[in-house]
Amino acid sequence: MSFRFKVSSRYSFSKIRGQRTAAVMITLGIAAGIIAMIMVSSIMNGLQGAQIDRLRNLESYDIVIDNSSLSPSQLEDIKGVDKAFSYGETSVLITDRTSSRSVSVRLRAFSPDTLQYPRLKNNLVFAGRLSSNGLALSTPIISNLRFLKGDNIEITFLRQGKKTAVVPYTADMEVSTAYASTLRSFSDTTALTDLDTFIEIMGNKDIHTGIYCSSSVSKTAALIKQADPGAVVMQWPEYNKTIYSALMLEKAMVYVFLSFIFLIICVNLKNSTGRLIDSRKQEGAMLRALGATRKDINFIFMAQGIILCLAGEAIGAILGLLAVRNIQKILVAVDAVAHTSISSFPFEAYISTGETCGILTGVLLIAILFTYLGCRRTYKTEIMEVIFNVSD
Amino acid sequence: MYPIELKQVTKSFKNASGEGDLLILNSIDLCLLPGKSTAIIGKSGTGKSTLLQIAGGLDAPTSGTVLCNETDLGSLSDSKKSLIRNRNMGFVFQNNMLLEDFTALENVMIPAMIGGSSKKQCADRALQLLDKLGLSDRLDHLPGQLSGGEKQRVAICRALMNNPDVVFADEPTGSLDEENAREVENMLFDIVSSEKRTLLLVTHNIDFANRCDMVYRLRNRTLTLEKS
């Protein structure tokens, strides 16, 4: 071991003049910061994962394509595409003629063969048959508005006008069946109709192509884009970008908040390093008198800070990952103390190896920077200033 | 060739007020003869320690030249100057300035470790020196567990560790009681003469200084030879 490592490792947890307390405080401060970052990041990942799963259920297609020059059957030839289908979607107002009560629903239009696709067929139960020009309403809408099968109802669309952007258009449609679904994408406020009827009323404006993927969504999207460069290919995060951006912003803000906490720890690290160095000035000067270079002395003090940081990171990473593995037990304990019900929220906290390494590397780099700032004064000190002070 | 030679060395500091310079040393010429001991005496505050530190390359003169075996220290980079300090010079200060986290043996080994010697070489030489100065039973003691005299003896061993050409001793007995001071004095002279080293001693103790081959007095910023 070189003398530089020997001296810096000996200095790191020295018992002299209460330095061990300072070193332990620095180490624990860094460990606490790492634990906080790992735990918060894992919880955020878990909560966001649960949230995204729910939202994905509301908008269940893996990919949505607009302006495609390829037909659904051509798209199905692309690797990774399990099912491609045209569908229409718009918001409409359904009015009960007798009571004049209205309800806003999302009208979705499929061709009959699309509804035979297993992922839809197995999750949609119709009370009858969805006829042409007919409307399938969810059972809650049927019961709330007291519709009966065969009722003619007024349905108001907003479609493109000749002079204005949109104009209301009212049509009569027949309630041909009721349906129920376990899919959140066919929620209570969704009505279904035949694709041809939809196109007849709305034209092709609100017609999109939906894709269900059998393998990686992003890879499949890239292949579609390659096959049809003019198409607008949107994955889930893109066509739900508002909510997705909000989730990402939320995560970013938590990181900013944690960074502030860590910044405070680092300022503390800088000051503590400065104090440790001040108390070692004489020894640093003596080492220089014995032949150590200015670089050697700086290395010793920098290495001391890095050793403390690495020790803090190791402790923080182990405890943080242990805490993540036992997050439910911790939340149950928090609930018991704070009388909250956080633990009842279903989510699984997780953190990827990459994210953990990112946190540890980031913290190490920041700690090195602040240790350097704390050490900077040693660059400026002349040997004799210190030896004079001692002699005097 | 002299181990250390000072030519026309002048040292001044900025006044505390920032106006004007305070002259400490004025055109000092000094040659240290190989294997001989030289003492510099003078009242406190006359600049004895400053002169020693300039001669040892720990401080730079305002003007003039310091030569170490004919190498001008002022022309060297920090790393080269450090190398010369490590190989050619040894220092003993009034305050022993031992590293408090290291045992007596490790403190003595440090100059050789800085120089890149192997652990075994370092340990062998350090043990030999500590044995010579009667510290064989204190090898694993931390400085805090040693007496003032013992600490200073460890500091002397450390100064001699790399077989330097010159040993600089700045008031080495200044913080010791009379008995310990006498013991350290004897040991310093014995080991320096047995190892045939050049010694530059700064002290205000005339008796101590008179044990040296040459004695200079620093007065009015200049050196005067008192004994040769």
How many angstroms separate the most distant Cα atoms in chain B?
A: 55
Q: Print the domain residue range for B80.
A: 4-227
Q: How far apart are CA B221 and CA B10, in angstroms?
A: 9
Task: Supply the DSSP string of A257-272, one letter for each residue.
Answer: HHHHHHHHHHHHHHHH
Strands (DSSP E) found in chain B: 4-14, 21-32, 37-41, 63-68, 71-72, 89-92, 166-170, 198-202, 214-219, 222-227
Nearest to A391 among B49, B56, B115 (CB): B49
Rounded CA separation A343/A374 (Å): 42
Give CA A360 to chain center in angstroms.
20
The residue ranges of every structural domain in chain A are 3-53+244-391, 63-237
* Structure tokens that stand for A300 in this block: 């010793």
Calpha distance B105→B150 (Å, rounded):
12
- Residue pair A317/A34 in contact by the 8 Å Cβ criterion: yes
Neighbours of B82 (CB within 10 A): 24
pLDDT at A59: 57
Walking along chain A (392 residues) 10 residues at a time, the average pLDDT comes out as: 82 78 85 88 82 60 86 91 90 80 85 84 80 84 79 81 74 87 74 89 85 87 90 77 75 80 78 77 86 87 87 94 89 84 77 90 87 73 59 44
> 0.90 exceeded by the pTM?
no
Q: Name A305's bridge partners.
A: none
- Does B86 contact A291 at a Cβ distance shorter than 8 Å? yes
DSSP state of B33: P
Distance from CA of A248 to the nearest CA of B (A): 50
**What is the tally of structural domains in chain B?**
1
Contacts of B66 in chain A (CB under 8 A): none
Residue B96 backbone dihedrals phi, psi, to 5 degrees = -55, -25
Does residue B45 carry a pLDDT above 80?
yes
Chain B interface disruption, residue of A290, A301, A379, most B CBs within 10 A: A290
Q: What is the pLDDT of residue B13?
A: 83
pLDDT recorded at residue A29: 85
Interface test with A, best of B102, B110, B120, B204 (most A CBs within 10 A): B110
Q: Which of B102, B111, B171 minimises the CB distance to A291?
A: B111
Cβ of B114 within 8 Å of Cβ of A290? The answer is: yes
State mean pLDDT over B81-104: 90
Residue in chain B nearest A294 by alpha carbon:
B78
- Say yes or no for a CB contact (<8 Å) between A16 and B100: yes
Helices A241-289, A19-58: axis angle to 10 degrees equals 160
Whole-number Å distance between alpha carbons of B61 and B197: 25
Residues of A in contact with B13 (CB under 8 A): none
For chains A and B, CB pairs below 8 A equal: 82
Q: How far is A312 from chain B (nearest CA, A)?
A: 22
B82 in contact with A at a CB cutoff of 8 Å?
A: yes
Q: What pLDDT was estimated at residue A391?
A: 47
With beta carbons less than 8 A apart as the criterion, state whether A108 and A191 touch. yes
Burial of B160 (0-12, 13-18, 19+ CB in 10 A): buried
> What's residue B217's pLDDT?
93
Nearest to B23 by CA among B53, B47, B52, B43: B47
Residue B181's contacts (CB-CB under 8 Å, 6 or more residues apart) are B173, B205, B208
**Cα-based distances in Å from B136 to B13, B119, B124, B141:** 44, 18, 12, 10
> Which one is predicted more confidently, B112 or A124?
B112
CA distance A198 to A192: 10
Range scoring the smallest mean pLDDT among A185-194, A361-370, B38-47, B140-149? A185-194
Q: CA quadruple B139, B142, B143, B146: dihedral positive or negative?
A: negative
Element (DSSP H or E) covering residue A391: helix A383-391
Please tell me the distance in Å from A309's CA to the nearest CA on chain B: 21
Contact B85 A291 (CB under 8 A): yes
Give the mean model confidence (pLDDT) for residues B190-210: 87
| Cross-strand partners of B9 | B28
Distance separating alpha carbons of residues B104 and B139, to the nearest angstrom: 5
ipTM: 0.89
Q: What is the spatial order of strands in the sheet that B198-202 belongs to? A: B89-92, B166-170, B198-202, B37-41, B214-219, B222-227
Pairing of strands A152-160, B214-219: unpaired
Band (pLDDT 50/70/90 cuts) for residue B173 is confident
CB contact under 8 A, A382 and B59: yes
Separation between Cα atoms, residue B206 and residue A360, nearest integer Å? 62
Half-sphere exposure of A184 (CA within 13 A, CB side): 9
Tell me the pLDDT band of B40, cut-offs 50, 70 and 90.
Answer: very high
Dist. CA B155–CA B50, nearest whole Å:
20
Structure token pair of residue A368? 């090195």
| Residue B104: pLDDT over 90 | yes
8 Å CB contact between A137 and A95: no
- β-partners of residue A86 are A209
Contact (CB<8Å) B86/A295 = no
d(CA A3, nearest CA chain B) in Å: 6
Q: What pLDDT was estimated at residue B134?
A: 86
Given this model, what pLDDT does residue B158 score? 92
- For residue B82, give the nearest of A6, A285, A293 by CB distance: A293
For chain B, positions 25-54, list CB contacts with chain A under 8 A: 49, 53
